[in-house]
Amino acid sequence: MNKFLIIDGLNLVRRIYAAIADDTDLTSLHERVGAACTKLLRIHQPTHVAIVWDGDALSWRKLRYPDYKKGRKPMPTPLANGLPQLQAHLAAMHIGSIYASAEADDVIATLAVKTVKAQGEAIIVSTDKGFSQLNLPGILQWDHFNQQFLDITALEQKLGVKRQQLLDFIALAGDSGNKIPGIPGIGPKSAAELLHTFSSLTVLFASLDRLEPKQAHKLADGRDMARLSYKLAQLQTHLPLNINLKDFRVQPAPARP
């Protein structure tokens, strides 16, 4: 069975880079990222590995909602300039790169879903909780910095909703980290309470007559924004990737003399 280790490139690298005192010391960055990848390979023993990078194109999310991810800090210039060298360093370690046209998240999601549908297992290396919406047996998420798999039960308890309600929750409450708006005046607590009662966005909007008038009016006015927010948060899982799986097969470690 194939086991594909899929690394969210900038999610890993930017946090490692932030811990380096001299932000121009690319040698140290190469060593630390290389060591992290070596550890990931040792822990998970995958058959295939790839690191996925964001591209420079304007994402369809940004085109549809210009405020998407507004205010997020740009990549530090030394890191941006040094990425080609880092990618070459990883290639020398037989860790191939996949370049998204815009956001890496959709490429990662597509890779994971395709792997599982081909009877394999996918391990996504990222701290981004958005990947928890990929509710398929065989897709796991590893937090390299805490050295543990994402605890779905703990996430559900924190948000107050079930995993399968995550997109509905974001549609109502928004996601401040990505500047996804949700419905004005509906916060996380209200969103969780509504989904506890009505189970889904579809059922909720079909049941507005059961709510007190002020809240029903707020939801009715925000219906289009909720639908937009749902789409912005939803990962695409059917992108054409045009990659050859054999190019990402893990190479055996050289024999010691």
The domain that contains 196 carries what CATH number?
1.10.150.20
Is 0.85 topped by the overall pTM? Answer: yes
Distance of CA 151 to the CA centre of its chain: 15
| More confidently predicted of 10 and 254 | 10
Instruction: Tell whether 116 and 59 lie within a shared domain.
Output: yes
CATH of the domain at 100: 3.40.50.1010
| More confidently predicted of 257 and 73 | 73
Instruction: Tell whether 62 and 174 lie within a shared domain.
Output: no
The residues, ordered by sequence, that sit 6+ positions from 100 with a Cβ below 8 Å of its Cβ are 52, 53, 54, 55, 106, 107
What is the average pLDDT across 239-243? 91
What is the average pLDDT across 67-78? 90
Indicate if the pLDDT at residue 1 is higher than 70: yes
pLDDT tens per residue across span 30-52: 999 999 999 999 999 999 999 99
Q: Is residue 256 part of a domain?
A: no
Instruction: Tell whether 198 and 81 lie within a shared domain.
Output: no
Count of domains observed in the chain: 2
pLDDT at 72: 86
**What is the 3-state secondary structure of 63-113?**
HHCCCCCCCCCCCCHHHHHHHHHHHHHHHHCCCEEEECCCCHHHHHHHHHH
- Closest to 5 in 3D by CA, of 30, 38, 33: 38
Q: Is residue 70 part of a domain?
A: yes
pLDDT tens per residue across span 151-174: 999 999 999 999 999 999 999 999
Worst-scoring range by mean pLDDT, 15-29, 120-134, 144-158? 15-29
Scored b (16 or more CB within 10 A) or e, 18-37 reads: eebeeeeebebbbebbbebb
Instruction: Tell whether 147 and 164 lie within a shared domain.
Output: no
pLDDT at 21: 76
pLDDT at 16: 95
Instruction: Tell whether 35 and 142 lie within a shared domain.
Output: yes
Instruction: Tell whether 164 and 196 lie within a shared domain.
Output: yes
- Summary mean pLDDT of the chain: 94
Range of the domain at 14: 3-151+235-248
